[in-house]
Structure 1
Amino acid sequence: MDQEHFLDKSEVTTLSLPSTASHGGSDSNISGAGCGEPQRTRAALEHLQQKILKVTEQIRVEQEARDDNVAEYLKLAHNADKQQASRIKQVFEKKNQKSAQTIAHLHKKLEHYHKKLKEIEQVSHRFTHLSSNVNSQVTLGKAKQVYQQFKAPLVDPSLNSGGAGGGGGGMLGPTMGSPRLDGHHHHHHHVHSSWDSLLEGLQEIKASQAHMEDTIEDMKGQLQSDYSYMTQCLQEERYRYERLEEQLSDLTELHQNEMSNLKQELASMEEKVAYQSYERARDIQEAVESCLTRITKLELQQQQQQVVQLEGVENANARALLGKLINVILALMAVLLVFVSTLANFITPLMKTRARVGATVLLTVLLFVLWKHWDFVDPWLIPS
């Protein structure tokens, strides 16, 4: 950074005027300064423009890296659990903070370069103003030199002495003054040639100044277009960054809503489980109470039966006879049931199919007919 500041200061110092030109130097110094300053200004502007483009490219790369980090964070956070999401968020915040610091530093550097560009433009305007002042000073200085050189032969003391000595002879003065007039004519020709060279130098300086102003205007327009383009790019990147922030906030809000919904569902499930457990406990308690009630009823019935038994000791014989009678009846019913079951076991195989049923019916009918007509059948079966 210090080297960049040093280079920038050297660029600015290249636009200052040389000492010879500021003090009204010779024609060669003026023409050299007029030809060298546009090249230095152009080199400084090109170098500064390269730096601006380099910084702009660095800003674009950093913003693309930041966008990639945001997209990667959104992708990972969408598929991660709570602990991983917190870790991913911490790493993303560190990267985002570092990227933001880098972008802010590059923006400061870009603003610094634009400020130096304005300073160079101001210096170029000052140089134009100073060069015009130098031209006026050089013109006035040369005019004074020409006036002094033109005045010196006219105020020569030899001319005064010649005039005083020529008072006695009228023809001697004109014959003695002709060499001085020839020298004055030669000196006037030399002054005229130096004046032409001075005008040519001034014209070259004006041409170089006009060329430098055109170049500066072209560079200014190009830099202005680059600046507007970079401003537009920065606005677009800022809009994208705001959109990404909105998406991130929406996603964070969505996650928070999902977490709140999950918490509500867990709370409702806990309430349901608690209610169901309470209902089951109440049912169990009611069943236990009903069992206890039945046990108490059975105990009361047993007590009543015991009381009845104690009261019925007197009728024990009658009850014994009644019990024996009941046993006999039960035995007869058992025999009857055995007979019926045997008969059913005998008849059941004959009634399983239709053929057996038909055969059984026919056999029964046949036996019935035989029994009815036994008187006619008996002689045939038992001969006399």
Structure 2
Amino acid sequence: MLQVLLCGGMVVTLAMGIRHGFGLWLLPITQEMDWTRESFSLAIAIQNLSWGVFGIFVGMIADRIGAFKVLIGGAILYALGLVGMALSPTTLLFTLTTGLMIGAAQAGTTYAVIYGVLGRQIPVERRSWAMGVTAAAGSFGQFFMVPVEGTLIAQFGWSNALLVLALMALIIAVLAFGLREPGFGKGAVLHREQTVGQALKEAWTNPSFVLLLSGYFVCGFQVMFIGVHMPSYLKDFGMAPHVASIGLALVGLFNIFGTYLAGNLGQKYPMRKRYVLSGIYGLRSVVTVLFLLVPLSPWSVYCFTAAMGFLWLSTVPLTNATIAQIFGVQHLSMLGGFVFFSHQIGSFMGVWLGGYLYDQNGNYDMVWYVSIALGIFAALVNLPIREASLVRRPASA
């Protein structure tokens, strides 16, 4: 179990850590290439959508052949996408590499695949805790990698910094060797109680699955709007670049504690995870309202990002543990991929709408208001979720 947690955590640390710093590239790239913020935002938005779409199919593959080969392919694709992001001369190529390619790579190197391994390898009485630990590792990646990426940009320029990150992404392929699963080797025959079609029908006709999808959409909208547009939002108010870097690092730091606590609460109260999820979404709206009401200063930014960081990815272990609890682990990567697809549709809207409305209005005010309203919506839709495990009828002979 320790090997799975260590390797899984390090994979998520790298994969999530790299992508959480992409907001630092918005101004350097758009200014040097003479592109609009919307063009950069569109590429990152497509990245999130690509991550969600490919995540469904990658989840199916990982459930069938195991995570090992999926992770190696994802690491190679991640490195190639970062090279393309560094060298693309046009917005079209930038969108194809930064958007489609890196998005597909993230699908094969992040939560859906890793949580599938955890669900199959970690005992049920430790599953929510283990997912919280892994989510905390992703948070540590943000805390560690965002300042590293800021330093790389300052020392080597934005293009060379991306080439360095491409080399770092290949470390994921090495870590994949620690996540090889018994039962997925050559010639292995796995017993399956459900076909893919049966699992999908069961999930999509279950109201709780649809409610989890709805809440996760909001999560994606909020975190990606803040993660990508916060540096530019602060720069518009005359804040020094280091304020945004410190703020995003604080998100990662406090998210370590938030996700770990969320995983523990999910383990301690296995039939009350919906209430924790509802509280997280509601608190996000409260924190955002307070941030907009108080005078903007470096300390208000640090307080906001610390508080939001505590709530940042704490939805991830709770949502995935709820899916595993209701539907079992046989198709966990696939079902997690579908829920995450909803998250990524929200991410697409948060990133793209932030850039679009900024270009239209010259500010981000409207997007902040939408984010607050969506947080209230998510807090409400999580309350009716039924967390009891499904009892399936035996297949007819």
TM-score tier by shorter-chain length is under 0.3
TM-score normalised to structure 2 length = 0.20
Structure holding more helix per residue: 1
Bigger Rg, which one: 1
TM-score normalised to structure 1 length = 0.20
